[in-house]
């Protein structure tokens, strides 16, 4: 890419698949501002939260046999209600993440599923590279988790953040109660597969595509989406690992234009954690250390220099893998796809 080439020419190249520039033209003004489009998507998410909550309550009532009461928070921590909690979580995620993005895609494109990246263009090499990228991503996330731990914060903030982590761990330990293989399969569907589908649709299919057009820069669009993706999970000590995962997933989607590959990578990330929980659980009880997101590199706390070295190693391995993934996407013609390019269909444009 010639950095001195006019931006409008680079935009044409992106549309026709000649190249994938990381800076795109911003001269075009949409019919509804990108801030307005963002507001519409946020509004749909607000409605989706209401719908998802109602669906969750119906699911809970169907399984438990009673309407959720004021003591539902206590019930949600009871392992006896684990399956009901899992099913309710799927309903809430479906309403909060998938439905709003799907309706938004229906507004901007006559083919909403294609707009969100549900495409069949894929190669076995892409799949293999995604698996390797996901595994290296776990290593990198573990190192970044250790780095996140040593970032200094005030005692008051640290206590608040630890309280959030403890509350989250309690809920996960209740929801991830697995005594049989069938429990494991159900938990895998609920904690690994469903969130992978719903979250990728919203963050990569929805927010990332909107942000890239809004800011006119691919890197900024991916970074903003990744920060939002991590922030929504509400974990300070997991912020850097999830933000890094968001960047990895963002690049996978930008290069492939195929949300299925993102779902695979996200599912592998979650699925390995679920498998670890299942393997470490004994008599239905999960040891608390199984919920630690950080890779167990050491028996004691690693030094800052060691952590930075591990982060650098993870990045050094990730870069050539991502370059090979991009090259394979170009080879099969994935770079010629623009999920959002439908000027005659999109009322916002």
78 compared with 267, residue with greater pLDDT: 267
Based on the fold, state whether residues 221 and 317 are members of the same structural domain.
yes
Task: Tell me the β-bridge partners of 285.
Answer: 282
Nearest of 192, 190, 194, 176 to residue 278 by alpha carbon: 176
What would the mean pLDDT of 150-170 be, rounded to a whole number?
80
Q: What is the phi/psi pair of residue 283, to 5°?
A: 55, 35
Q: What is the domain count for the chain?
A: 2
Based on the fold, state whether residues 3 and 106 are members of the same structural domain.
no
Any domain includes 294: yes
What would the mean pLDDT of 115-128 be, rounded to a whole number?
95
Percent of the chain with pLDDT over 70: 78
Based on the fold, state whether residues 91 and 20 are members of the same structural domain.
no
Based on the fold, state whether residues 249 and 322 are members of the same structural domain.
yes
Nearest of 152, 120, 129 to residue 252 by alpha carbon: 129
Percent of the chain with pLDDT over 90: 46
Based on the fold, state whether residues 132 and 19 are members of the same structural domain.
no
pLDDT at 240: 93
Any domain includes 164: yes
Based on the fold, state whether residues 14 and 141 are members of the same structural domain.
no
Based on the fold, state whether residues 88 and 171 are members of the same structural domain.
yes
pLDDT at 209: 93
Based on the fold, state whether residues 75 and 206 are members of the same structural domain.
yes
Is residue 290 a contact partner of residue 278, using CB atoms and an 8 Å limit? no
Is residue 322 a contact partner of residue 251, using CB atoms and an 8 Å limit? yes
- The per-residue pLDDT of the chain, averaged, comes to 82
Any domain includes 323: yes
Based on the fold, state whether residues 190 and 260 are members of the same structural domain.
yes
Range of 122-131, 146-155, 163-172 with top mean pLDDT: 122-131
Based on the fold, state whether residues 37 and 19 are members of the same structural domain.
no
Any domain includes 151: yes
Segment 162-207, tens digit of pLDDT: 887 777 777 777 666 777 888 888 889 988 999 999 999 999 999 9
Structural domain for 14, as ranges: 1-27
Q: Is 90 exceeded by the pLDDT of residue 311?
A: yes
Read off the pLDDT band of 14 (50, 70, 90): very low
What would the mean pLDDT of 270-281 be, rounded to a whole number?
83
pLDDT at 8: 41
Neighbours of 220 (CB within 10 A): 15
Based on the fold, state whether residues 22 and 36 are members of the same structural domain.
no
Any domain includes 349: no
Any domain includes 53: yes
Based on the fold, state whether residues 80 and 132 are members of the same structural domain.
yes
Any domain includes 346: no
CA distance 222 to 245: 11
Range of 152-161, 207-216, 284-293 with top mean pLDDT: 207-216
Any domain includes 342: no
């Amino acid at each position: 890419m010639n950095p001195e080439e006019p931006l409008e020419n680079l935009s044409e190249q992106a549309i026709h698949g000649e190249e994938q520039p990381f800076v795109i033209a911003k001269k075009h003004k949409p019919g509804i501002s990108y801030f307005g489009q963002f507001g519409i998507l946020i509004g749909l998410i607000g409605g989706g939260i209401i719908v998802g909550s109602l669906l969750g309550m119906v699911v809970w009532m169907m399984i438990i046999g009673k309407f959720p009461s004021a003591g539902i928070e206590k019930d949600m921590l009871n392992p006896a209600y684990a399956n009901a909690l899992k099913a309710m979580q799927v309903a809430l995620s479906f309403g909060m993440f998938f439905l709003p993005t799907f309706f938004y895609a229906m507004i901007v494109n006559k083919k909403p599923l294609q707009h969100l990246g549900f495409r069949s263009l894929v190669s076995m090499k892409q799949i293999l590279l995604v698996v390797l990228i996901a595994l290296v991503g776990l290593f990198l996330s573990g190192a970044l988790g250790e780095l996140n731990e040593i970032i200094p914060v005030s005692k008051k903030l640290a206590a608040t953040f630890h309280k959030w982590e403890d509350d989250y761990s309690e809920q996960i330990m209740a929801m991830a109660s697995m005594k049989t293989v069938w429990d494991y399969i159900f938990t895998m569907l609920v904690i690994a597969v469903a969130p992978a589908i719903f979250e990728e649709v919203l963050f990569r299919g929805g927010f990332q595509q909107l942000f890239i057009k809004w800011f006119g820069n691919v890197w900024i669009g991916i970074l903003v989406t990744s920060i939002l993706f991590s922030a929504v999970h509400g974990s300070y000590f997991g912020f850097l690992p999830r933000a890094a995962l968001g960047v990895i997933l963002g690049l996978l989607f930008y290069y492939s234009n195929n949300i299925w590959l993102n779902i695979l990578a996200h599912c592998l990330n979650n699925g390995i954690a679920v498998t670890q929980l299942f393997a470490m659980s004994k008599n239905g009880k999960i040891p608390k250390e199984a919920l630690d997101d950080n890779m167990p590199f050491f028996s004691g706390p690693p030094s800052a220099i060691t952590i930075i070295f591990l982060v650098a190693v993870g990045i050094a391995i990730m870069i050539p893998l991502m370059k090979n993934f991009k090259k394979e996407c170009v080879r099969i013609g994935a770079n010629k796809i623009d999920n959002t390019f439908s000027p005659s269909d999109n009322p916002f444009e």
